[in-house]
A = this chain, B = another copy of it.
Amino acid sequence: MFEGNEYFDGNVKSLAFNAGEDKATVGVMAAGEYEFATNCVEHMTLISGTMSVMLPGSSQWRTIAVNEMFIVEADVSFTVKIEVDSAYLCLYK
Protein backbone atom coordinates (compact mmCIF):
# COMPACT_ATOMS: atom_id res chain seq x y z
CA MET A 1 0.00 0.00 0.00
CA PHE A 2 2.64 2.54 1.05
CA GLU A 3 5.88 2.23 -0.89
CA GLY A 4 9.11 2.64 1.04
CA ASN A 5 12.35 3.76 -0.57
CA GLU A 6 15.88 4.22 0.59
CA TYR A 7 18.77 6.21 -0.81
CA PHE A 8 22.41 6.89 0.01
CA ASP A 9 22.99 3.47 1.60
CA GLY A 10 19.96 3.83 3.83
CA ASN A 11 20.94 7.25 5.15
CA VAL A 12 17.74 8.59 3.63
CA LYS A 13 14.49 6.62 3.80
CA SER A 14 11.01 7.61 2.75
CA LEU A 15 7.41 6.45 2.71
CA ALA A 16 5.18 7.49 -0.19
CA PHE A 17 1.55 8.49 0.26
CA ASN A 18 -1.10 10.71 -1.31
CA ALA A 19 -1.59 14.19 0.12
CA GLY A 20 -4.83 15.27 -1.50
CA GLU A 21 -4.04 15.60 -5.21
CA ASP A 22 -0.30 15.54 -4.66
CA LYS A 23 2.02 12.62 -4.42
CA ALA A 24 4.02 13.02 -1.23
CA THR A 25 6.65 11.39 0.93
CA VAL A 26 7.62 11.61 4.55
CA GLY A 27 11.14 10.57 5.27
CA VAL A 28 14.16 10.65 7.50
CA MET A 29 17.75 11.65 6.84
CA ALA A 30 20.86 10.93 8.85
CA ALA A 31 23.61 13.53 9.27
CA GLY A 32 25.29 14.15 5.93
CA GLU A 33 25.08 16.02 2.67
CA TYR A 34 22.80 14.77 -0.07
CA GLU A 35 22.15 15.86 -3.64
CA PHE A 36 18.70 15.21 -5.05
CA ALA A 37 17.35 15.68 -8.57
CA THR A 38 13.76 16.81 -9.15
CA ASN A 39 11.36 15.65 -11.85
CA CYS A 40 8.68 18.12 -10.82
CA VAL A 41 8.30 21.08 -8.50
CA GLU A 42 8.82 19.94 -4.91
CA HIS A 43 7.53 21.56 -1.73
CA MET A 44 9.81 20.42 1.04
CA THR A 45 9.05 20.97 4.75
CA LEU A 46 11.36 20.20 7.64
CA ILE A 47 9.42 18.27 10.30
CA SER A 48 12.13 17.59 12.87
CA GLY A 49 15.87 18.14 13.17
CA THR A 50 18.04 20.49 11.13
CA MET A 51 18.38 21.22 7.45
CA SER A 52 20.28 23.60 5.24
CA VAL A 53 19.66 23.71 1.53
CA MET A 54 21.67 24.97 -1.42
CA LEU A 55 19.23 25.70 -4.20
CA PRO A 56 20.15 25.87 -7.90
CA GLY A 57 21.82 29.16 -8.79
CA SER A 58 22.74 29.85 -5.19
CA SER A 59 26.17 29.52 -3.64
CA GLN A 60 24.93 29.93 -0.09
CA TRP A 61 23.38 27.52 2.35
CA ARG A 62 19.91 28.53 3.48
CA THR A 63 18.97 27.33 6.95
CA ILE A 64 15.50 25.82 7.16
CA ALA A 65 13.54 26.02 10.42
CA VAL A 66 11.30 23.25 11.67
CA ASN A 67 7.92 23.59 9.92
CA GLU A 68 9.46 25.86 7.27
CA MET A 69 8.74 24.94 3.65
CA PHE A 70 10.92 25.68 0.64
CA ILE A 71 10.19 25.16 -3.04
CA VAL A 72 12.49 23.48 -5.54
CA GLU A 73 11.86 23.88 -9.25
CA ALA A 74 11.43 20.92 -11.60
CA ASP A 75 14.37 19.27 -13.37
CA VAL A 76 17.13 20.66 -11.19
CA SER A 77 19.50 19.33 -8.58
CA PHE A 78 19.70 20.65 -5.05
CA THR A 79 21.76 19.75 -2.02
CA VAL A 80 20.69 19.46 1.59
CA LYS A 81 22.99 19.38 4.58
CA ILE A 82 21.78 17.60 7.71
CA GLU A 83 23.47 17.74 11.11
CA VAL A 84 21.34 15.37 13.20
CA ASP A 85 18.67 12.79 12.36
CA SER A 86 15.93 14.79 10.66
CA ALA A 87 12.49 14.21 9.22
CA TYR A 88 10.82 15.90 6.27
CA LEU A 89 7.64 16.07 4.25
CA CYS A 90 7.91 16.46 0.47
CA LEU A 91 4.99 17.26 -1.86
CA TYR A 92 5.42 16.58 -5.58
CA LYS A 93 3.52 19.18 -7.59
Contact = CB atoms under 8 A, between A and B. Distances in A.
Interface string A51-89: 000000000000000010000000000000000111101
A42 to B, nearest CB: 14
Interface of A: 1-2, 4, 10-11, 13-15, 17-20, 24, 26-28, 30, 47-49, 67, 84-87, 89
Contacts of A89: 47-48, 87
A2 B17 contact: no
A20 B20 CA distance: 31
A18 B28 CA distance: 10
B19 A13 contact: no
Contacts of A85: 2, 17-19
